[in-house]
Chains A and B, each alone.
Chain A
Amino acid sequence: MYKKNIIGSVAFIFLFAAAFFMSGSFPAMVDIYPKIICVMGIILSACLLGQTVYQKKHNIENEKKLSRKQIITIAVTLAGTLVYVMLIPVVGYMTMTFIFLLTMTFYVDPTSPKIAYPLVGIAFIVLLYLAFGVFLKIPLPKGILI
C-alpha cells in the first residue's frame, strides 16, 4: 500500500490545489465552500502522506501488486468497452453489443465451450431488446446497422 498511498496522496494534493486555484476566479461567496473543501483536502492528503511515510516499514510488506497479465486484462477490458461505446452510434447498439459480448467473453476466458459464446450473445441481446426496447420503450441507439 506504500507506493499507492504515496502516489495517491500526492495526486490528491495536486487535485485539491488545482481546484483551489480555479476557485479564485469564482465571484465572492461562491468560492467560500469549494475553498474550504480544497484546504481540508490538502491538509488530509498531507496527513495521509505523512502517515504513509511514518508507517513505511509496516506497510511496505503488505504491498499487493497486480500481475502484468491482470494489468493487460484490465486495460483491454476498459479500452474494449470504450471502443464499444464509441462505435454504438456508428454501427448500432444491437450489432455492437453482440460483437462486444462475443469478443470480450472470449478474451476474458477462452476455455468455455465454443458454442456458448454466440449463444449467450444472442440470448443477451434478445433479452436487452425485450427489456429496454419493448417493455420499457427506451429508444436504443441506432447506427448504420441495428
Chain B
Amino acid sequence: MLSNILLGMEHAFQISNLLIAFFGVALGICFGALPGLSASMGVAVLIPMTYGMDPVPGLIMLAGVYCGATYGGSISAVLINTPGTPANAATALDGYAMTQKGQAKEALTESIIASFWGGLLSAFALLFLAPPLATLSLRFGPQENALLGIFGLSIIASLSSKSLLKGLLGGLIGLLIGCIGMDPQVGFPRYTFGVMNLLTGVPLVPALIGLYSISQVITLVSSEAKYIVNEEALKSMKEKKLSLKDFLYYPRIYLMSGIIGIIVGIIPGAGGNIASFISYNEAKRLSKTPEMFGHGSREGVAASEAGNNGVTGGALIPMLTLGIPGNAVTAILLGGLMIQGLYPGNDLFTVRAHITYPFIIGFFVANIAMLLLGLFCSGWFARVVKAPANFLATGILVLTVIGAFAINNTLLDVYIMLAFGVIGYVLKLMDFDATPIVLGMILGPIAEKGLMQTIVIQRGLVPGVLSMFSRPICLVLMLLTVISLVTPFFQVRKEKKANQN
C-alpha cells in the first residue's frame, strides 16, 4: 500500500496536476457559490472535458470541483443568507448572523478552515478505508451483485424526502431507461426502436448533464431574474488579518464533525446537508455557549462546514469500492470513472492503482488548493454571485452542448442530453428529484445482471433467491436493504410526532 501511496504522490504532485487541481477547485467554488447551481451540476458539466484528458488529471479536476463546490456554497450562505448548495444550509444559520454583526470575513475564514479539516479527514478515511473494503468485493458473486444493486436502489427511499412515492416512481423510470439497449444475458435489443447507437444503452453522461444541468438552466432562464442574487452584502466585507490561531480554532469540533461527515458520507443516501445539521447539533450540545448558536456563533459555522466537507471523501468510499453512488455527485463521478474505462471494485486498487492512488492523493491536493484559494481569494469568489443570469445560463448551455458532443464526437449525444434536460425539467416541475432516476439508470443493469446470472446458475428464480439466504454477505446486504427501506418511514413518523407536539 505504501508503494501505491508513493506512486500516487509522484503523479499527483506533478506541476500540471497541481495546476489542474487548483483550476478544478476554483471552478467548483464558483459553481458552489452560485445558489441554484450545485456540485452535481459542476461535475456533470465538466465530466466531458475530462474525457479528452488523461485519467489522472481528469479525475483530479473532478475531485477539485467536488471539494470546491461543497465549500463554495458557504460563501453565499455567509454573505447573503442563501446557501449555494443544500449542504450549506446549516452554515447560513450562524454565518449570516456573523455577517450582520460585521464579521463576514471571520465567518468566511472559519468556513474555509473547517471545510479544509473536514475534507482532509475524509481524504484520510478514503485512503485507508477504501482498499480493505475493496478486497471484500472479490467475494461477490452474482447473488451478492444482485443484492448490492437492490441495496443501492433502496437508497432511493431515503433520498425521497419530499415524497416517497415520487422517489420510488423516479427510481422505476430510471430502471426502465436502464433497460434500453441489449439485455445483459443474451444481448437481445430492448426498446431501441432500431437506433443502432442505443444498442449499448442510453449514454450515461449526456443523460446526467441533461438531468442536472439543462433542467437547471431552464429554471434559471424562466426565473426572470437579472442576477441570481442581487445583494449589497458583498460591500460589507472588511479585511481581517489571518492569525495562526485561526487554523486550529476548534480542533475538537473539526475532528468530531469531520468524523460525523465521513460516517454520513459512507452511508448511501445520506448527504452533506444531513452531516452538517448533525454536526451542528452535536457541536451545540457540547458547546460551552450553546445560546450563541443561531446568533452568529463561529463554532456553528465550523461544525457545519467540517461536517459537510467530511462527506466528500466518505461518499467516495462505497462508490469506488462497491459501485454504490451514495449521493448525486458520486453518481455523476461514477459516470466520470466509467468514461475513462474504470469500474469500481478491487481492480481499481490493484490493477488500476496507478490511476486510483493519484486520484486519492489528488483529493488531498484539492483540499489544500481549496484552503489556499478560500483564504486568499474568497472576496473574488464572492463576486460570482453577481454574475448576470442571461450570460450565465447561455454560457452553461453552450458548455453542455460541446461537452455532450465531446464524449463520442456525435451530435446524437447532444440531442439525448437535450431530451433528458426537458424530461428533468418537467419532472422537476412535478417535484420529482433527478437522483432516484440516475440511481435507477446506474444500478438497474447491475441488479439485473446479477439476478439473471443467479437464475441461470441456480436453475430458477426460487432456487436463486433461496441460495441468497445461505451466503453471509447476502444476508448482510438484505439486512442493510431492509434498514434502508424502513428508516424513512420511522423518520416520517418521528417528524409527524414532533410536529404534533
Q: Is A10's beta carbon under 8 Å from chain B?
A: no
Complex CA gap A19/B394 in Å reads 36
Residues of A within 8 A of B402 (CB): 93, 97, 128, 132, 138, 140
Q: Mark B377-416, 1 if CB is under 8 A from A, else 0.
A: 0000000000011110111011101100110010100110
Q: If A34-B190, A85-B414, A140-B402 touch, does A105 touch B176 (CB 8 Å cutoff)?
A: no
A33, A41, A93, A131: the one within 8 Å of B451 (CB) = A33
Q: Mark B440-456, 1 if CB is under 8 A from A, else 0.
A: 00001000100110010
Q: Is B179's beta carbon under 8 Å from chain A?
A: yes
Which of B32-40, B76-84, B165-173 has 4 or more CB atoms under 8 Å from chain A?
B165-173
Residues of A within 8 A of B179 (CB): 19, 33-34, 37
**B176/A19 in contact, CB under 8 A:** yes
Complex CA gap A47/B166 in Å reads 10
A19, A104, A128: the one within 8 Å of B191 (CB) = A19
Interface size for A (C-beta < 8 A) is 62
Q: Mark B145-185, 1 if CB is under 8 A from A, else 0.
A: 00000000000000000000110110011011001000101
Chain A, range 16-57, C-beta contacts under 8 Å to B: 16, 19, 22-23, 26-27, 29-30, 33-34, 37-38, 40-41, 44-45, 47-48, 51
Q: Is B348's beta carbon under 8 Å from chain A?
A: no
**B166/A30 in contact, CB under 8 A:** no
**B165/A124 in contact, CB under 8 A:** no
Q: Is A144's beta carbon under 8 Å from chain B?
A: no
B218, B411, B431: the one within 8 Å of A78 (CB) = B218
Residues of B within 8 A of A108 (CB): 221, 389-390, 393-394
**B172/A37 in contact, CB under 8 A:** yes
Q: Mark A92-111, 1 if CB is under 8 A from B, else 0.
A: 01000100110011101101
**B165/A4 in contact, CB under 8 A:** no
Q: If A73-B221, A73-B222 touch, does A109 touch B388 (CB 8 Å cutoff)?
A: yes
**A138/B409 in contact, CB under 8 A:** yes
Residues of B within 8 A of A27 (CB): 186, 188
B169 closest partner in A (C-beta)? A44
**A137/B191 in contact, CB under 8 A:** no
Q: Is B138's beta carbon under 8 Å from chain A?
A: no
Q: If A44-B169, A105-B390 touch, does A29 touch B176 (CB 8 Å cutoff)?
A: no
A7 closest partner in B (C-beta)? B430
A-B contact pairs, 20 of them (CB 8 A): A1-B430, A4-B429, A26-B183, A26-B188, A30-B188, A37-B175, A41-B169, A77-B397, A78-B218, A85-B415, A88-B401, A100-B394, A105-B391, A109-B226, A131-B49, A132-B49, A135-B52, A136-B51, A136-B52, A138-B402
A: residues with CB less than 8 A from B are: 1, 4-5, 8, 12, 15-16, 19, 22-23, 26-27, 29-30, 33-34, 37-38, 40-41, 44-45, 47-48, 51, 66, 69-70, 73-74, 77-78, 81-82, 84-85, 88-89, 93, 97, 100-101, 104-106, 108-109, 111-112, 116, 120, 124, 128, 131-132, 135-141
